[in-house]
Amino acid sequence: MRNRTVSMGDALREYLNKSRFKPRLMEVRIQENWEAVVGKTIARYTESVQLFDGSKLVITTTVAPLKQELNYSKDRIMKLVNDMLGEDIVKEVTIR
């Protein structure tokens, strides 16, 4: 085994990428940046944003016109969220 010098940040990033906590961390990042991704108005009327099975984004809202608009924008939302995360995590978007 070779000894190599790795920064603490790189070691932590590598650990988190391989750990079982990664999907939960991605969900928290999505929730924290939701308003920046979709805008203030949509974020205000969104009840919850959850990541299931590490790749299925579930958006919950009770506003019928918003549900319809979000259904039409699933591909765009998926692209915006993945761009914000810097990797292709979200493979499917569901609106409830």
The predicted pLDDT at position 20 comes to 82
| Domain presence at residue 40 | yes
| Domain presence at residue 1 | no
3-state helix, strand, coil in the chain (%, to 5): 55, 15, 30
Domain housing 76: 22-95
Number of structural domains (the chain) is 1
Would you give the distance in Å from CA 39 to the centre of its chain? 15
The predicted pLDDT at position 18 comes to 79
Report CA torsion sign: 85, 68, 92, 51.
positive
The predicted pLDDT at position 79 comes to 97
Q: pLDDT of the chain along its 96 residues, tens only?
A: 567 788 888 888 788 777 788 888 899 999 999 999 999 999 999 999 999 988 999 999 999 999 999 999 999 999 999 999 999 999 999 999
